[in-house]
Amino acid sequence: MQKYTVVVCDHIHEAGLKMLEDDKDINFIMAADVDKTELVEKIISTADVAITRSSTDIDKYFIANAKNMKAIVRAGVGVDNVDIPSCSKEGIIVMNVPTANTIAAVELTMTHMLSCMRMFPYSHDHLKNQRVWKREKWYGYEMKGKKLGVIGFGNIGSRVAKRAQAFEMDIIAYDPYINPSKVTDLDMTYTKNFEDILACDIITIHTPKNQETIGMINEAEFAKMKDGVVVINCARGGLYNEEALYNNLKSGKIRFAGIDVFSKEPATDHPLLNLDNVTVSPHLGANTFESQYNIGTQAAQNAILAAKGIAYPHAMNLPIDESKIPSFVKPFLEMGQKIGFLESQMNKSQIIAIKVSGHGEISKYVESLSTFVAVGAMSQNSGDTINYVNADFVAKEKGIKIESEALCDSSVYKNLITIKLTTSEGTTTISATIFDDNVQRIVAIGSFDIEVALKGDMILVQNSDVPGVIGSMGSILASHNINIADFSLARNAKSEALAVILVDDVVSDVALAELSSLEACLSVKYARI
């Protein structure tokens, strides 16, 4: 009987180890305490599947020695230490266990919230370590009746809100990617206006870390908050701009902050540690015995399924068997995912439907293409939980309809794909093709025929087709020291124009607001690919 080798590279809960040990089809090797060089050079070549955590880097050196590897299971949510593109190139599937530590993260958030409101760590230290009994020094605040702003209403944010509701708090949730009824059905308030969140007494953030969310709370947002606000971050380091957070804590604008995660870890010398109105913990979101049990057992179960080729739960990539598809298809799949990602930034609201159409030979592969498009479109608000394996399931769970259609050959292009994204706020449609040498190009956006490279920072300005607009846009960008790399312009039959501007620099909200204020401007969108 064939046995499959599973190598455990880092420590996981003993219950997971026992699952591997008890499976008669699995040859289990415990290598968590083995020197990493020896692990890679002498052990990993025998593995069908490896289970890792943050202590083992799955880099090119590791992958080069993983001669028989089918899959990597990251026992946790983050996959920062895994070179996913290199794994995909070698046909290695990368999986994680994204929901195992949900409750642990929720309860840690509540711990920080309560500690900030009652200054518990400081009163504890005063009595326990300094042996000072001074009750009058430690007047805190009650949570009852306070407004809690929840940014991100997914698995963790929604559970934090429910627990806060039990404290008789008023909950206001901001998440442009969900159906508002998910909030309102719980007798909570849903808002599309981010300033409603900034007006809350306590603000907690629960979003994935991506281009849209890094530094999403900056100096401008802190300035709009009420004096004495309490802010919490047990999600990802860098969602609050840490310099701005420090300055506003020091000035007293922010009364207290509860922080579990930092932009760079370990953060033993971080300036925030010098302040006396911060509760901190060293990234303990998953550090409960229960979550470690869940992580260990789910990782072991995923490894067993993958080793036997049964399933690949929570796969982060999709190895493509190029022997079974023409070579021209893979670049279209990649391009489709990019367009889905682009359109989700152009139309930031709850996704209702995704429709993918194919003209020419690519139309034979339009169903596979729709999966890639869905991953791109949903990745903005799904973070680490969206992948090629679960995309259809996640879409159904969110009520998103995914359609694909094969059309007749295009009269202009050998192969053409058109992606229509419908959200609660409207519809965007983009058509694209691939020219010789795998050059990806957008060839139409809505009713505008326009050729645009699919890369970089992109500003899309739709305006009335009147003189002087191009010069005004250029002047505004120049005033913000933003260099234009490419400028494409198109007109439609409605006397409207569309400018797609590729720039070399990140565009600030202030610059976008100035573009929007132009008299002829109809809309401004900004995306980063």
* Full pLDDT tens readout for the chain, 529 residues: 579 999 999 999 999 999 999 999 999 999 999 999 999 999 999 999 999 998 899 999 999 999 999 999 999 887 878 998 888 878 788 999 988 899 999 999 999 999 999 999 999 999 999 999 999 999 999 999 999 999 999 889 999 999 999 999 999 999 988 889 999 999 999 999 999 999 999 999 999 888 788 999 999 999 999 999 999 999 999 999 999 999 999 999 999 999 999 999 999 999 999 999 999 999 999 899 999 999 999 999 999 998 988 878 888 886 555 556 777 888 898 899 899 999 999 988 899 999 999 999 999 999 889 988 998 898 776 654 576 767 887 888 888 999 999 988 766 888 999 999 999 989 999 999 998 777 899 999 999 999 999 988 999 999 999 999 999 999 999 999 999 999 999 999 999 999 999 999 889 999 999 999 999 999 999 998 8
The phi and psi torsions of 140 (rounded to 5 degrees) equal -110, -160
Residue 312 resides in a domain: no
Catalytic residue among 21, 142, 243, 265: 265
Catalytic residue among 283, 314, 343, 359: 283
Residue that finishes a domain, picked among 397, 419, 446: 446
Residue 475 resides in a domain: yes
Contact residues for 280 (Cβ-Cβ < 8 A; gap 6+) = 258, 259, 260, 272, 273
114 in the same domain as 62: no
Residue 452 resides in a domain: no
Is 514 catalytic? The answer is no
Instruction: Label residue 196 exposed, middle or buried (CB < 10 Å: 0-12, 13-18, 19+).
Output: middle
148 in the same domain as 122: yes
Give the domain CATH number at 148: 3.40.50.720
Rg (the chain; Cα; Å): 25
Q: Between β-strands 49-52 and 202-205, what pairing exists: parallel, antiparallel or unpaired?
A: unpaired
Give the domain CATH number at 431: 3.30.1330.90
Is 283 catalytic? The answer is yes
What is the C-alpha separation between 210 and 236, in angstroms, rounded? 10
Residue 21: count of CB within 10 angstroms of its CB = 12
Q: Quote the crossing angle between the two packed helices 329-346 and 366-382, to the nearest 10°.
A: 40
Is 236 catalytic? The answer is yes
List 431's β-bridge partners, or say none: 418, 444
163 in the same domain as 72: no
What is the C-alpha separation between 3 and 525, in angstroms, rounded? 54
Residue 315 resides in a domain: no
Please choose, from the candidates 231, 210, 330, the residue with its C-alpha nearest in 3D space to the C-alpha of residue 277. 231
The one-letter amino acid code at 202 reads I
Residue 501 resides in a domain: yes
DSSP 8-state symbol, 408: P
Total domain count, the chain? 4
Supply the range of the domain harboring residue 490: 457-529
What is the C-alpha separation between 236 and 238, in angstroms, rounded? 6
Task: Write the DSSP assignment of 196-249 as a string of letters.
Answer: HHHTSSEEEE----STTTTT-B-HHHHHHSPTTEEEEE-S-TTSB-HHHHHHHH
272 in the same domain as 143: yes
Q: Between β-strands 93-96 and 521-528, what pairing exists: parallel, antiparallel or unpaired?
A: unpaired
Structure tokens at 77: 């949510």
44 in the same domain as 170: no
What is the C-alpha separation between 69 and 43, in angstroms, rounded? 12
119 in the same domain as 169: yes
What is the C-alpha separation between 477 and 513, in angstroms, rounded? 11
Residue 344 resides in a domain: yes
What is the C-alpha separation between 171 and 168, in angstroms, rounded? 9
Catalytic residue among 13, 53, 206, 236: 236
What is the C-alpha separation between 297 and 305, in angstroms, rounded? 12
Q: Between β-strands 416-423 and 351-359, what pairing exists: parallel, antiparallel or unpaired?
A: antiparallel
271 in the same domain as 371: no
222 in the same domain as 243: yes
Indicate whether this model's pTM tops 0.85: no
233 in the same domain as 123: yes
327 in the same domain as 245: no
Residue that finishes a domain, picked among 412, 446, 480: 446
Structure tokens at 59: 């880099």
List 401's β-bridge partners, or say none: 353
Residue 314 resides in a domain: no
254 in the same domain as 112: yes
244 in the same domain as 124: yes
Chain length of the chain: 529
Give the domain CATH number at 473: 3.30.70.260
Residue 285 resides in a domain: no
